[in-house]
Amino acid sequence: MASLKSVVLALALLVGADAFIAPKAVPRAGKLFSEVDPNANPQSGMGPSLQWSGEASSGETGNYRKLSDKLNEGDIERRKNEEEAFQRENAMALAREAKEKKIRFMEEMPDSTPAGRVVDFMYKGGITEILEKLDHDLVGLKPVKKRVREIAALLVLDKMRRKLGFETAVPSLHMCFTGAPGTGKTTVAVRMGQILQRMGYCRQGHVVVATRDDLVGQYVGHTAPKTKEVIKKAMGGVLLIDEAYYLYNAGNDRDYGQESIEILLNVMENQQEDLIVVLAGYKDRMDKFFSYIPGMSSRIGNHVDFPNYETDELVDIALVMVRDLEYELGPGAVDTFKRYIDTRKAMPFFSNARTVRNAMDRARMNAAIRIFNEGITGKLMTIKELKQVTSNDFQIILDEIVALGPDAIVA
């Protein structure tokens, strides 16, 4: 016994007296947790020291709140998914019911049921007015006008079928206009946009004209935003891409035009109900362009060729301009203008109606100079003199191009 006491005394001296004193409370975050709790139940191992006191640091409180929010969000998401699934199932059931009802209606409907008059649909839709305006504004171009009427006929009949309940599908309305400059491609595109808008095939019917410079960027990452911005402006209407073959450069594999073409192809396929794309340019170059990009050719449902105007048709175009501007042609003016057109057609860069417009502007300027020089002396001018373009006004511009020679480049 004495030896045992000696051992204990030696250990006490070795480790110090603090080893035999009850441990003090250790501070923890939030609340003091006692390491030794006299109220703890030794049987269960539970006591105040192992229970959450309801107090915690701000960091711990945030963690508990986030967990609660996540649980609530998960519950909301689950209910939302259940509601969407129910709505899908309900929509499918309603669609099946509507389709069955439609089939029964179509089967029971007699073939002699009146479908309406084509004239009424064209008049109510404003198609008659637009086609008449096309005839009024455009001289000649009979093949083009015929093609426009064919497209209008398809849209009108499609609308009549839709009203009766027949299945309809939006036809491919993307187009390719081929022909020389000044043959009326932009004018026809504007009229087509109006027809499509009146018939409900596009929301606005406006026309956005673009070239390569509007669509293709100069460095990496620049082309896509430019192309998408132009497409955004044209949405709901018609996008007319003039000289579209310049989008592709066969001699340069790194040309950025290919990226623009890919974006256009995607839009033409997936958003054809909200955007009509019209490609325009010379026929031989457009044919070559389509050989490089077969996917583009297959998406074009309507190819319209614009022939060059004959001399008499160009004179008629000039007469339309004279009428719209409230001018009159003096004696011999038409014959002089014909000689000008025949001479100008043999020179480079003849542009059909654009050349006629430029010639009319020059003739009007000559008339203005003539009347100004006469009136500045104090002479009283008459209404007839203010309205008339004389033969000599055209003779001046004819003499100018003859003096320049057959190879000269003029407007």
Q: What is the mean pLDDT of residues 362-376?
A: 93
Tens digits of residue pLDDT in 271-292: 887 888 999 999 999 999 999 8
Which range among 29-38, 87-96, 240-249, 342-351 shows the weakest confidence by mean pLDDT? 29-38
pTM of the complete model beyond 0.85: no
398 pLDDT above the threshold of 70: yes
Calpha distance 305→126 (Å, rounded)? 25
With cut-offs at 50, 70 and 90, classify the pLDDT of residue 225. very high
401 pLDDT above the threshold of 60: yes
pLDDT at 129: 79
Q: What is the mean pLDDT of residues 244-257?
A: 83
